Amino acid sequence: MNGVEVVGEGRGGRDAEAAATVGLEELRRRMADFARERDWEQFHSPRNLLLALVGEVGELSEIFQWKGEVPKGLPGWDEAEKVHLGEELADVLLYLVRLSDMCGVDLGSAALRKLEINARKYPASQCKGSSKKHTYYSSRCDVSGNSNGTNHLTSNEEHDNNTSSNNDNNGDSDQLSEIYLELSWGTSGLDGWLGSVRDYSHVLNCVSFSDSLQVLGL
């Protein structure tokens, strides 16, 4: 991991003992010291760090590639595989901590705030045991006007929505990545996936459902 690796004292050393209580501030400070001692601050622009983070996520993904669904606890994985996984997870965490520092974002506070937002988006009483996106729950009444979640927008209303969305492209484009997130968490098979695309066709500013499929590569 170029430029951000924190060298420890080996397994069983003081770093291992402190791991249970290490916090984001400690990691941020050590990352800053590590970069400064090597004169690597000049390379740690937000863009560079983000691209490096994406690369590390790719390396993390390779560990799970071709393994299919992996049960909790990684049964069947040997110690070397788990050590390798820990190293790649650490790379992702360290780059994320460094990126937030270079952007002036308090990562801990941002994470706690996001947890509070998610709690409001996904009330336990409504979404327990469901992987549907938060817009499903809000749209059941706000969009469709009925309690079963069925969207009864007419063709004219759909056209009006598409027209108005052209004036709000920035907000819609922010949701594009969330479409893929919802699809990746889908548990209802292909029908559920296609339903998600239908629900978000207005986000993609597509004129038809078939165009939505093409944009998403389905």
- For residue 86, give the 3-state DSSP assignment: helix
Average pLDDT over residues 187-195: 48
Output helix, strand, coil percentages for the chain, rounded to the nearest 5.
65, 0, 35
- Residue type for 212, please? S
Residue ranges and CATH numbers for the domains of the chain are: 14-113 (1.10.287.1080), 152-218 (no CATH)
What DSSP string describes 137-164? HHHHHHTSSSTT------HHHHHHHHHH
Mean pLDDT of the chain: 73
Residue 10 has a pLDDT of: 45
User: What pLDDT band is residue 58 in, cutting at 50, 70 and 90?
Assistant: very high
Q: Over the stretch 101-132, which tens digit does the pLDDT of each residue have?
A: 999 999 999 999 999 999 999 999 988 898 88
Is residue 77's pLDDT more than 50? yes
